[in-house]
Structure 1
Amino acid sequence: MHPLPFSHTWPYEVQGKDIYIEECPFCQQEHVLTNMKQKDVKRAKEQFKVRLNMPCCHTVMTIVEADDDYFWADQPLRG
């Protein structure tokens, strides 16, 4: 698999058992509590695709990889 460009990344935070995104890349809603679980993040870190339905705008982000700071999506998330 070819490395994904940085434009396909989006930062996330883990607080306790909750996964937050500071700002939705699709609708710009701030402080979004996602419906992701720790096991979903773990699977993404193992390079399994994980679908994240954004609760604010219902747009689906397909995460193909994750590290401790960023989700790596299958589409550009930054301009």
Structure 2
Amino acid sequence: MLTFENSWPYDKMMDDIYINECPFCHKSNVLTAFSEEKLNSAKEGIKQLLVMPCCHSKLTILNADDDYFWTEEKLR
């Protein structure tokens, strides 16, 4: 079971997906290259890889909902 410690919030504006703050380098308002198709796959429970453009760290997203990415590592 995924815990809240393994979640990270995101925002969707039009077709762009933003991370309010990078969990690795703490840069704010990061525009990701995560597509709508990848987001929909994540919402279906298909693993997706998100490479943060600010620091090139990798997040393996196990699941997503309308507000959070759920990952395999503790981010909080």
Class of the TM-score when normalised by the shorter of the 2 chains: over 0.9
Distance in 1 separating the partners of 2:34 and 2:9: 14
- Please state how far the C-alpha of 1:5 moved relative to its aligned partner: 0.9
Instruction: Determine the structure 1 residue equivalent to 2:47.
Output: 49
Instruction: Determine the structure 2 residue equivalent to 1:64.
Output: 62
Residue from 2, 5, 28 that aligns with 1:4: 2
Distance in 2 separating the partners of 1:56 and 1:5: 26
Misfit runs of 4+, over 2 Å = none
Gaps of 5+ in 1: none
SS at match of 1:26: coil
Instruction: Determine the structure 1 residue equivalent to 2:21.
Output: 23
SS at match of 1:41: helix
> CA-to-partner distance for each residue in 1:19-60, whole Å, 9 max, x for gaps?
000000010000000000001100000000000000000000
Residue from 11, 32, 42 that aligns with 2:30: 32
Gaps of 5+ in 2: none
Corresponding pairs, count: 76
Question: TM-score w.r.t. structure 2 length?
Answer: 0.99
Question: TM-score w.r.t. structure 1 length?
Answer: 0.95
